């Protein structure tokens, strides 16, 4: 007999989703109302305003797409690119490759700037590519590459794009709320994120924001957007500023309650304090990881504090360690992707999960499981190293 599903309680320290704040879970359970109800529309306006704060932008077209981060990516590409357009795309991990896939499905020409997995995007290579492709319409890159834990210099890349008259497209799925991100100050034209990373909300929504220049490009299209559902010329009628909204789709009402609550929590903490919290917990975690005899894939100056790609020595079973952490400690960490599959663990310290308790518990559990695998490591020393970082701050 099939019965109600009751999931186990886990500590989510993988690449996403991250642990959801109990306040957000409570928000999900509030009474469902209609997606055109005046009370709901008032909340929609607050969501827009709070997203503008999170993105640090005044862009009017700042909304949550009613689908996960991958749909946010597609929203940006299908609206801005038409057949024959040329876009320069930076790839230093899985998600730069997904940008290419999206661009080509729009009929655009993707000119790739490739960097090694774990490296930051090379500014000199980007400038050379833009010089060689003066007809490029846009420059697209991943700010925080979830597959490797590498941060790229979004501000400098956006400045390069401006120098060559290109639109700036940014993947901020893992960066929003976790590291410095300033859409207006940096001159970003189109950006997308996800709710399940540093916002600590449930999966299923994708915040996006478009500059006035990007909106003009969308309105000036010669061809229809290939996706009806993601066509912003239609969606803007539902999320627009006017009091009377036109029906486009049935919005995920309760999920938007959850996003609203997560953004209220972010505003209460303050962006700068959220960035600082992620940085401190990463520093403590890194000190402990090094004491365990493990290493990072990414050079220190380019590491993401919210997503740690940790390498392990030969003889350690990737799958066995992750399984033991899940079964014995209810702790989830992620496996490597693509070129890093079987070589790294991706350990998240995102949003609500980025806290001292999780750092110390993860180091303790990881040390115990690695010792069972025969690795010479000292979990107590790792925890002490992390605690020393906290004591110093």
Cis peptide before 104 (omega within 30 of 0): no
> Any idea which residue has 């607050």 for tokens?
46
- pLDDT, one tens digit per residue, over 271-324 is 999 999 999 999 999 999 999 999 999 999 999 999 999 999 988 999 999 999
CA distances from 234 to 68, 225, 230, 247, 268 (A): 19, 10, 8, 9, 33
What are residue 241's phi and psi, to 5 degrees?
A: -85, -20
Q: Which residues contact 290 (CB under 8 A, 6 or more apart)?
A: 385
43, burial (CB in 10 Å: exposed 0-12, middle 13-18, buried 19+): middle
Residue 194 vs residue 233, higher pLDDT: 194
pLDDT in tens, 6-41: 999 999 999 999 999 999 999 999 999 998 899 999
Cβ 143 vs Cβ 170: under 8 Å: yes
Q: Look at residue 236 in the predicted model and tell me its pLDDT.
A: 80
pLDDT computed for residue 241 by the predictor: 58
The CATH code of domain 21-268 reads 3.40.640.10
Mean pLDDT of 138-164: 98
Domain range 271-391, CATH class: alpha beta
Contacts of 277 (CB under 8 A, 6+ apart): 269, 354, 355
Whole-model pTM: value is 0.96
Q: Which element (helix H / strand E) includes 112?
A: strand 109-114
Q: Please tell me the distance from the alpha carbon of residue 46 to that of residue 264, in angstroms, as a whole number.
A: 9
CA distance 218 to 44: 23
Strands 295-296 and 334-335: unpaired
Q: How confident is the model at residue 237 (pLDDT cuts 50, 70, 90)?
A: confident
**Longest CA–CA separation in the chain, Å:** 65
Task: Please check whether residue 94 is in contact with residue 71, taking contact to mean a CB–CB distance below 8 angstroms.
Answer: no
Per-chain mean pLDDT for the chain:
96
Asked if residue 343 has pLDDT above 80, the reply is: yes
The arithmetic mean of pLDDT across residues 133-154, rounded, is 98
Task: Name the segment(s) of the chain with CATH classification 3.40.640.10.
Answer: 21-268
Q: pLDDT tens digit string along 156-193?
A: 999 999 999 999 999 999 999 999 999 999 999 999 99
The two structure tokens encoding residue 364: 């303790």
DSSP assignment letter at 31: P
* pLDDT at residue number 112: 98
Chain Cα centroid distance, residue 178: 9
Locate CATH 3.90.1150.10 in the chain: 271-391
Residue 243 has pLDDT above 80, yes or no: no
Q: Which two tokens stand for residue 329?
A: 């400690």
């Amino acid at each position: 007999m099939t019965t109600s599903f009751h999931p186990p309680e886990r500590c989510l320290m993988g690449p996403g989703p991250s642990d959801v704040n109990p306040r957000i879970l409570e928000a999900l359970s509030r009474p469902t109302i209609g997606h055109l109800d005046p009370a709901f529309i008032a909340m929609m306006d607050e969501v827009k305003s709070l997203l503008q704060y999170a993105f640090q932008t005044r862009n009017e077209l700042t909304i949550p797409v009613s689908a996960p981060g991958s749909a946010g990516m597609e929203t940006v590409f299908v609206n801005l690119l038409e057949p024959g357009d040329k876009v320069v795309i930076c790839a230093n991990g899985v998600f730069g490759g997904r940008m290419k896939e999206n661009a080509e499905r729009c009929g655009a020409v993707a000119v790739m700037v490739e960097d090694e997995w774990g490296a930051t995007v090379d500014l000199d290579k980007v400038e050379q590519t833009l010089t060689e492709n003066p007809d490029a319409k846009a420059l697209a890159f991943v700010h925080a590459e979830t597959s490797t834990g590498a941060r790229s210099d979004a501000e400098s890349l956006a400045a390069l794009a401006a120098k060559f008259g290109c639109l700036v497209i940014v993947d901020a799925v893992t960066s929003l709320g976790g590291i410095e991100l300033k859409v207006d100050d940096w001159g970003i034209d189109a950006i997308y994120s996800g709710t399940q990373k540093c916002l600590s909300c449930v999966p299923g929504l994708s915040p996006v924001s478009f500059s006035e220049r990007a909106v003009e490009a969308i309105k000036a299209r010669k061809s229809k957007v290939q996706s009806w559902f993601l066509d912003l010329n239609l969606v803007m009628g539902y999320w627009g500023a006017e009091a009377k909204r036109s029906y486009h789709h049935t919005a995920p009402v309760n999920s938007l309650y959850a996003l609203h609550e997560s953004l209220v929590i972010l505003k209460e903490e303050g962006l700068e304090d959220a960035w600082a919290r992620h940085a401190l917990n990463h520093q403590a975690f890194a000190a402990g990881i090094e004491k365990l005899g493990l290493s990072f894939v990414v050079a220190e100056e380019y590491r993401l504090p919210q997503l740690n790609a940790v390498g392990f020595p030969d003889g350690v079973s990737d799958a066995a360690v992750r399984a033991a952490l899940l079964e014995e400690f209810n702790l989830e960490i992620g496996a490597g992707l693509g070129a890093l599959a079987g070589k790294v663990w991706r350990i998240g310290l995102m949003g609500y999960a980025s806290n001292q308790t999780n750092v110390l518990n993860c180091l303790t559990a990881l040390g115990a499981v690695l010792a069972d695998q025969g690795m010479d490591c000292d979990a107590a020393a790792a925890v002490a190293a992390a605690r020393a970082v906290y004591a110093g701050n």
